[in-house]
Amino acid sequence: MNLKKLLALLLAAAMLMALAACSGSGDDDADASDNSGGDTVYNIGIIQLVEHTALDNATQGFEDALIDLLGEDNVTFNFQNAQGEGTNCVTIANSLVSEGVDLIMANATSALQAAAAATADIPVLGTSVTDYATALDISDWTGVVGNNVSGTSDLAPLEEQAELLAELCPVEDYPTVGLIYCSGEANSVYQVTLVAEYLEEMGYTTAEYAFADSNDIASVVTNACADCDVLYIPTDNTAADNTETINNIAEPAGIPIIAGEEGICQGCGIATLSISYYDIGYITGEMAYEILVNGADVSTMEVQYAPEVTPEYVAERCEALGITVPDGYTAIEAN
């Protein structure tokens, strides 16, 4: 073999080894990338019933979780605000299904109901939903919806909420409790029914004051303040969107309000047993990652709850009403 042929063979062998090394390096990079979803860009539809602090925080937590887990280049969010209208939720849900999104996050009960009705194939994860059995009309609730729907709940223990009211507003001083809620929100009805039972067992007299929408909140709250010693408002989206109206009536009347969540409490309440909506949104995002990347079966995923609840109070309102708050409560600012 002459020298030229030998050099040509050696050069060819070196090129083959270099190509093999590059190929092996590429496989390692692909494997590492697969841990965060690879090169796939996931298109996520978000239906949020209305913009207010609690729901906004849940959506932020959801988006942050997926960006943390997938990387911001591997996920896009199609956020749609339904402006507080259930009919808008239906329109948005159908649009997202037509678009062929990879997953729908439904923020609040009406959004979940619309998404669940719009598709049986695309995974749907709810958040800020109090009771999935009530929202989806499930009679034999086991903790799992059993189809393409799962998610997280914003339910803080209702019996403990009643106990919080009793601790701050004892029955001998505040014998009558008005329960304020939107009649169009199924989960508000659910909460009010149970809280009323707990309060009546403690000796309180309860009365329900329901409003159909934001147009009659002022008149309903005015009547409740005239009739009752203390008010209770559950995790109600319409109330959350109208806390200024509620506060402008209750505060001059000297009527304390116990709220079902932090945003309502900051807007018009004196105290709440609250969860972190950001945390449940983040947990929902982690569930979405398991479905999208790791192939988790949404039909077997249990509905998740907030990891902890915190008793909170608004100091300036409690002081103005002469209400003493025991140790163990966290102070929050009024809006």
Q: What percent of the chain has pLDDT over 70?
A: 89
Is residue 318 pLDDT above 60, yes or no? yes
**How confident is the model at residue 37, as a pLDDT?**
54
pLDDT in tens, 292-311: 999 999 999 999 999 999 99
**How confident is the model at residue 39, as a pLDDT?**
83
pLDDT in tens, 181-228: 999 999 999 999 999 999 999 999 999 999 999 999 999 999 999 999
The residue-averaged pLDDT of 145-171 equals 96
Q: What percent of the chain has pLDDT over 90?
A: 87
In this structure, are residues 281 and 61 in contact, taking their beta carbons and an 8 Å threshold? yes
Is residue 1 pLDDT above 60, yes or no? no
**How confident is the model at residue 36, as a pLDDT?**
53
The residue-averaged pLDDT of 272-291 equals 97
**How confident is the model at residue 58, as a pLDDT?**
98
Residue type, 321: L
Q: In angstroms, rounded to a whole number, what is the distance separating the alpha carbons of residues 41 and 277?
A: 26
Is residue 110 pLDDT above 80, yes or no? yes
The residue-averaged pLDDT of 154-162 equals 94
Residue 123 CA from chain centroid, whole number: 17
What residues pair up with 149 in beta bridges, in sequence order? Answer: 124
Backbone angles phi, psi at 267, to 5 degrees: -75, -35
What letter does residue 214 receive in the DSSP assignment?
G
Q: In angstroms, rounded to a whole number, what is the distance separating the alpha carbons of residues 90 and 47?
A: 10
What is the sign, positive or negative, of the torsion defined by CA atoms of 89, 93, 94, 96? positive
**How confident is the model at residue 38, as a pLDDT?**
67
Query: Measured at the alpha carbon of residue 107, what is the angle toward residues 104 and 108, in degrees to the nearest 5?
Result: 130
Residue burial 171-183, b: 16+ Cβ < 10 Å; e: rest? beebeebbbbbbe
**How confident is the model at residue 156, as a pLDDT?**
87
Top-confidence residue, 108 or 7: 108
pLDDT in tens, 69-105: 999 999 999 999 999 999 999 999 999 999 999 999 9
